[in-house]
Structure 1
């Protein structure tokens, strides 16, 4: 992220260190929302099934509306879109905290959760888009590929760190203050830090790739090119893996009467994945993005085989550690390819498409894996992450074949 030549500034110099601090904290509310909603609903309403549906409603809202927020940011700039989202999302979180504690119908709770997801500020994709645009427009050509790879590494590591720390913070706040506390804190952080992220000088920028009337020179149909869609499918597979592995792991630990420790074990994968994601920036350029996807996707499949055959906590920890080696670099590679293949003037749209792919995959896999564990047992459920990993690897092979066809 800081590769420089003696005559050119680094990305950190172009944005300023405060940018990265603000952007990191601004992601935290999103990481707290799904788990926070689940926690307060289960605690207050006493229904695990309603809690699961409510969490899914947040994910559905984000997945359906997120790409449109990205398109709006591409058209009118990130600042007005983020300011509107920060205000609405903060308000919706506060409303949800009140609704759960009142004797309203479950449908109202679900609708309120949907609005939380629909108004969720797309900080991660917009940060990626913002930084990629700065790299493309303000850095010398020889630096761009290396800096983009380093930036995607950092962004992915930041996401994974937040998504490990977010649920932990929810647990602390709910345990020591009250079930509503994580939602209230998320509401305040959204207003303060997403607002600061929007108002940062880099948020003023509207891509020079836009025409004078604000339209992108590229057609909407360019978003559906096979070379870009295969990346969306691949990252959807990563989402499927996240949802299936966490749910299956919870079932596995529940069988051992230690369901509450599932999050700790899952952290083994999250920490390893974040560390390896950062390490991608130092891989040699001759180790191409196409090859990285296949190699690390293969490691993900190998770890998933071990996951599916684990019978003890020790073997499960080893499986999760191996999976972490594969998943982090694969995500970085997919985002790097998405950035490289974004049509002119549509980088925020592409980044939110990729982010939504992860969210949709998680929601679908969590629901399917939970139902499988309940009906067919844990042994059937822990095979599902392997299917998700296979989708990631197959998409990587398809990506390689498509790239060969275009050369």
Structure 2
């Protein structure tokens, strides 16, 4: 297929789209700082529930099941939150959302500490997960407004991927320190407090949120669900595979470290994996790509599947650390390119919904991977859980390869969906 001749670098008049230029975007810090605080709870929630419930029930199985319930609820309800934010505005969704989430999280804490029946923990886990604020997708949507048609969108996607990865490194460490060093309930209480304070501060930044249409405008415009865009469905499968890597690595690295009698090594190995992700994200965002995004995704995801497929065969700490680093290096480009494609194939009125579908897919893939990897570790050999990242990425790669044509952005002058307000068409890279 012939490629468009205009590249991101061409559109940027030869300027390199660096992070310094991105962070100098007027008004960016007004939503970045509260957004960073508000997105920390997303990474603290799962581990905080596991540590609290395990402490009060003495069962890792129960703790994992309650935590998985939260993750599944989050994955199922997040897209609807994004759809409502696209239609009625982020503030209208965030204000009640953070209140419900904080109340549900504190309710779960009280139930666990009071020795309430196990079924009540599952009951409280559902609204706790379902109301988790989707700050990351909302920040991405605000970048879309700020950088409409700018070559810095690729840099913004990379910056957000690195921020997400930093969150998933810092959040669990912070929650673990609170639960083990202060009180088993401290992690979940802090998570609820950060959600409330950070979410309210983020919602207060009305000037940077995507514009909200009036009732009359809604009546005139055909609103298309992000799921009706074929490429979004392919990306959901892609991100499920990425979630399988995160979940499978968490369980399998912990089990491996325990099996060799060095449990403290778990944090080091996972840190190496996360470091590879962060570093490659920084590099990926600093490059003015001339390769079409759908081709970049296919190439990058192939590398991810290949490296993830070698994890189960690692026989030494050094080899496992090296493979973990390579897997991390391959994840960030796939995440960044996936989010970049959303900007190109999804109408502006459905973009937050699309971002939340992808975020929810990662959460769902992670929840499923944690469960399956745990069963494999218990029922088979040490390291069997590493089959989960391999299986998830290989299956997703097959789907992506077969349906790769659906990831091709519309040509200049074409519209994504009839009747939806679009940006001025530009040639793609």
* Residue 204 (structure 2) aligns with: 199
> Which of 390, 393, 399 pairs up with 2:397?
393
* Residue 77 (structure 1) aligns with: 89
- Counterpart CA distance in 2 for 1:126 and 1:406 is 24
> Which of 155, 169, 172 pairs up with 1:167?
172
* Residue 333 (structure 1) aligns with: 337
- Report the CA distance between 1:37 and its aligned residue: 0.6
2:53 aligned with 1:50, yes or no? no
> Which of 240, 246, 251 pairs up with 2:250?
246
* Residue 350 (structure 2) aligns with: 346
- Report the CA distance between 1:350 and its aligned residue: 0.6
2:22 aligned with 1:20, yes or no? no
- When residues 226 and 127 of structure 1 are mapped into structure 2, their CA distance, relative to the original with a 3 A threshold, is same
- Counterpart CA distance in 2 for 1:404 and 1:95 is 46
- When residues 352 and 295 of structure 1 are mapped into structure 2, their CA distance, relative to the original with a 3 A threshold, is same
Q: What are the superposed Cα offsets for residues 153-194 of structure 1, whole Å, 9 maximum, x if unpaired?
A: 011110110011111001111122111111111111111111
Moved more, 277-286 or 174-183: 277-286
Map 1:215-230; keep pairs closer than 5 Å: 217-220=221-224, 223-230=227-234
- Report the CA distance between 1:326 and its aligned residue: 0.4
- Report the CA distance between 1:339 and its aligned residue: 2.3
Q: What are the superposed Cα offsets for residues 69-113 of structure 1, whole Å, 9 maximum, x if unpaired?
A: 111111110002111111111121222211111121101011112
* Residue 383 (structure 1) aligns with: 387
Contact 1:26-1:189 within 8 A present in 2 as well: yes
Coordinate RMSD, CA, aligned? 2.4
Q: What are the superposed Cα offsets for residues 106-156 of structure 1, whole Å, 9 maximum, x if unpaired?
A: 0101111221101111101111122213322xxxx4xx2x21111110111
- Counterpart CA distance in 2 for 1:240 and 1:159 is 16
- Counterpart CA distance in 1 for 2:245 and 2:123 is 27
- Counterpart CA distance in 2 for 1:404 and 1:117 is 33
- When residues 216 and 239 of structure 1 are mapped into structure 2, their CA distance, relative to the original with a 3 A threshold, is farther
2:267 aligned with 1:255, yes or no? no
Q: What are the superposed Cα offsets for residues 265-306 of structure 1, whole Å, 9 maximum, x if unpaired?
A: 111111210121122122233122122212221221232133
* Residue 99 (structure 1) aligns with: 111
Map 1:277-296; keep pairs closer than 5 Å: 277-296=281-300
* Residue 110 (structure 1) aligns with: 122
* Residue 120 (structure 1) aligns with: 132
- Report the CA distance between 1:16 and its aligned residue: 3.4
* Residue 307 (structure 1) aligns with: 311
Map 1:129-148; keep pairs closer than 5 Å: 129-136=141-148, 141=149, 144=150, 146-148=151-153
> Which of 156, 159, 177 pairs up with 2:182?
177
Moved more, 333-342 or 377-386: 377-386
Moved more, 277-286 or 146-155: 277-286
Q: TM-score, normalised by structure 1?
A: 0.90
Contact 2:226-2:353 within 8 A present in 1 as well: no
| Structure 2: gaps of 5 or more residues | 1-10, 16-20, 412-429
* Residue 423 (structure 2) aligns with: none
- Counterpart CA distance in 1 for 2:157 and 2:399 is 20
* Residue 158 (structure 1) aligns with: 163
Contact 1:217-1:345 within 8 A present in 2 as well: no
Contact 1:66-1:122 within 8 A present in 2 as well: yes
* Number of residue-to-residue matches in the alignment: 396
* Residue 420 (structure 2) aligns with: none
Kindly indicate which of the two structures has a greater share of residues assigned to helix: 1
- Report the CA distance between 1:251 and its aligned residue: 2.1
| Structure 1: gaps of 5 or more residues | none
Q: TM-score, normalised by structure 2?
A: 0.86
Contact 2:89-2:209 within 8 A present in 1 as well: yes
- When residues 12 and 113 of structure 1 are mapped into structure 2, their CA distance, relative to the original with a 3 A threshold, is farther
* Residue 192 (structure 2) aligns with: 187
